[in-house]
Amino acid sequence: MSAHPLAVMSSGLVTSVGLSAPAACAAIRSGLTNPIETRFADSEAEWIIGHAVPLDPPLRGIDRLARMASMAAEECLIGVPRTDWPDLPVMLCVAEPDRPGRLDEVPHELFERIGQSLETQFASSSRIVEQGRVSVAVALLHARKLIYELNVPQVLIVAVDSLLTASTLRALDDASRLLTPANSNGFIPGEASSAILVSKPGGGAALTITGLGFAVEQATLESEAPLRAEGLSQAINDAVLDAGCAVHDMDFRIADISGEQYYFKEAALARSRTLHRLKEEHDLWHPADCIGETGSAIGPLMIAVAAAAARKGYAPGPAALLHLSNDAGQRAAIVTRTG
């Protein structure tokens, strides 16, 4: 096990299939999904299908993001005394700066809105991580340093994202990345928020993060270079090395795959390059089947799903490998273990 493991003490989720971690994880376990017609049309004048969070009232823009993030954070902090909140560092995970439809001023204003909604201020060591789907792994790396080098008791990681905006959907449609009757090589866009609270092990947590790995893939989605999954393979190898184990020790995998063939191929290639012993069963879970493509929100959600599976005893085994891929080439892997 890593010399710097992190225990997942609690989680919070806001998704299209559940507005709390227990509800969302139960729906994902059951394979439930709830896509609806959005108010946006594609280039063929067909209504775009999306996974929208049922908020009441139905807010828009940064108000919507702030509301979703605050709900997930508040659920995650139920067991933390409110008097401790001002000392709590927060890692806010958001979309990449160049993601179509993302406003440059959103991250900092969003961070302030979350504090206002929760009626608190967070520690000065808080930071914003703008790396989309791999943001949670970067946030965990920062959290590890705060907890083990600065003796911070706990760190809150919050992620929120929405692809259900006009400019984002237009860009995705123009790039033929949306799942439509005319395009099977695409995904259903969605939105969600997720949060996890991490600390040093010892508090009876159901899940422990034991390894982290990072790399960069040169053969990206838009590259003409042949995909060999070298980046993801390196991230996985580094994560299991950090955890002091091997890929064949992993009982199952959870990925941020949302429907595009490129990422399914990458996951298959990375498995073949890193798994050096025969495993008859090596399940691959992809929660996006139920909630759609949710950008940066998928990371903590995957960890929450692993924690729920560990706590309720339906995980295929104690060890899980989680991996994440950004369109720009960043790759990350996370190793978790029950208890």
The mean of the pLDDT values for the chain is 95
Q: Under CATH, which number does the domain 6-199 receive? A: 3.40.47.10
Grade residue 281 by pLDDT with cuts at 50, 70 and 90. confident
40 DSSP β-pair partners: none
Q: 64-73, 97-106, 281-290, 307-316 — which is least confidently predicted?
A: 97-106
Domain ranges of the chain: 6-199, 207-338
Give, in order, the Cα–Cα distances in Å from 39 to each of 17, 48, 49, 88, 166. Answer: 19, 8, 9, 39, 9
CATH 3.30.460.80 given to domain 207-338: no
Confidence at residue 160, expressed as pLDDT on a 0 to 100 scale: 97
Short-list 35, 39, 17, 38, CA closest to 26? 17
Confidence at residue 44, expressed as pLDDT on a 0 to 100 scale: 87
Same-fold call for 6-199 versus 207-338: yes
Confidence at residue 18, expressed as pLDDT on a 0 to 100 scale: 97
Taking the alpha carbons of 141, 147, 149, 152 in that order, is the dihedral positive or negative?
Answer: positive
pLDDT tens for each residue of 190-209: 999 999 999 999 878 999 99
pLDDT tens for each residue of 298-309: 999 999 999 999
Confidence at residue 204, expressed as pLDDT on a 0 to 100 scale: 82
Confidence at residue 105, expressed as pLDDT on a 0 to 100 scale: 65
Residues 6+ apart with CB under 8 A from 27: 15, 17, 18, 290
pLDDT tens for each residue of 4-13: 999 999 999 9
Confidence at residue 152, expressed as pLDDT on a 0 to 100 scale: 97
> Which whole number is the average pLDDT over 119-145?
97
Compute the residue count for the chain: 339
At residue 272, does pLDDT exceed 90?
yes
Q: 40-44, 94-98, 173-177 — which is least confidently predicted?
A: 40-44
> Which whole number is the average pLDDT over 215-234?
95
Grade residue 137 by pLDDT with cuts at 50, 70 and 90. very high
pLDDT tens for each residue of 149-161: 999 999 999 999 9
For the chain, give the percent of residues with pLDDT over 70. 99
321 DSSP β-pair partners: 253, 335
> Which whole number is the average pLDDT over 111-126?
95
Give the burial class of 151: count Cβ atoms within 10 A of its Cβ; 0-12 exposed, 13-18 middle, 19 or more buried: exposed
DSSP element (H, E) containing 116: helix 106-117
Confidence at residue 1, expressed as pLDDT on a 0 to 100 scale: 60
> Which whole number is the average pLDDT over 133-151?
98
What span, in angstroms and rounded, lies between the C-alpha atoms of 325 and 283? 18
Residue that wins the pLDDT comparison between 60 and 3: 60
State the DSSP code for 202.
-
Is the bond leading into 57 cis (omega within 30 degrees of zero)? yes
